Amino acid sequence: MTSLSERAESLLALHHRSTPVVLPTVWDVWSAQAAVSAGFEALTIGSHPLANAVGAADGEGMSLDQALEGIARITASVEVPVSADMESGYGADPAELAGRVLEAGAVGLNIEDTVHSEGRLRGAEEHADYIAGIRRGADAAGVHLVINGRTDVFSTDEEIPDRLAEAITRLTLLEKAGADSLYPVGVPDVATLEALLAAVSTPLNVTAHPVNGAIPDGLDLARLTELGVRRVSYGPLLQAALADHLAEVTKAWR
C-alpha cells in the first residue's frame, strides 16, 4: 500500500498532464471499487451521494464525523488516490479539518464558499483565508493535500452584479492561498469558461452536465483538453443515473 504522501503526489500529478483527470463520484465501498475496476485512476467522494447513503440531506445534513467515517471506509477499500467533498468545512477549524481528512485516508478535498449552516456565501478573502488554513494544516502534517477550491458565485441566489468578475477575483485569491485546482460551479457557457481559464494558471475543474454527461454547451473531453481544462467531475450524476435505471433493470424481477 502506498503512503498518503505518495497518493497525494499521484493525485496532484494527474492535474498536470496533457489530458484532464476525470474523477467519478463515489459514495461507498461498492461504488468505489466498481469505479476502480472500470479503470479510473483516482476518485472523488461526493457529499450529496454520501449523505444520501446515510439518510441525510446534502448541505452538511450529516455530521463531520459521519462524513469522515464514510470517507475512511472508502479509502481503505481502494489503492487509488481519493479526494473528498467536505462542503464548506462543517464549521471545523481549517487546519484541524486537513488533519482529520488525512487521518481518514483522503489525499484531496473540495471546499466550497457556501456556508450551509449560516445560509450565506463566504466573502472572497474569508474563503481564501479558510483555504490557506487548510494548506497550513496539511503542511504541518507533511502531506501535500490536494485542495480543490470551489466557488458558487455562478449558482448562488445572492445578488452579485458581475458574476464573472467576482469569480475571477475569488479564484485568483484561492490560487494565492494554496489551492491546487479551482472549481467554479455552474459555469454558464463556453465564453465564460474561456475567460476563467485565461485569468488563472492553476488547473481548472468543471462539472459535467446531467444530460448525457455533457459539459457546458455539449463540450466533450477532447474539446475540454484543447481549452485547457484539467479536471472533470460529475457531482452526484453516477448515483442518479443508477437510480434512473433501477426500474428498467428490475422490471423482469416483478
Looking at residues 168-184, what average pLDDT do you find?
A: 98
State the residue range of the domain holding 38: 4-253
pLDDT higher than threshold 90 for residue 216: no
Cα end-to-end span (Å), the chain: 44
pLDDT of the residue at 84: 98
Q: C-alpha grid cell for residue 215? A: 459539459
Q: Residues near 30 by Cβ (< 8 Å), separated by ≥ 6?
A: none
Surface-to-core class of residue 118, CB atoms within 10 Å of its CB (0-12 exposed, 13-18 middle, 19+ buried)? exposed
pLDDT of the residue at 237: 76
- Rounded to two decimals, the pTM is 0.94
Query: Which CATH number do you get for residue 70?
Result: 3.20.20.60
Task: Answer yes or no: are the C-beta atoms of 16 and 203 closer than 8 Å.
Answer: yes
3-state secondary structure of 207: strand
DSSP 97-112: HHHHHHHTT-SEEEE-
pLDDT of the residue at 125: 98
Task: Answer yes or no: are the C-beta atoms of 181 and 204 closer than 8 Å.
Answer: yes
pLDDT of the residue at 235: 80
**Pair type for strands 120-121 and 43-45:** unpaired
* Number of domains the chain contains: 1
Cα-based distances in Å from 39 to 61, 80, 95, 147, 221: 32, 10, 33, 23, 16
How many distinct helices (H) and strands (E) make up the chain?
Answer: 10, 11
DSSP code, position 117: T
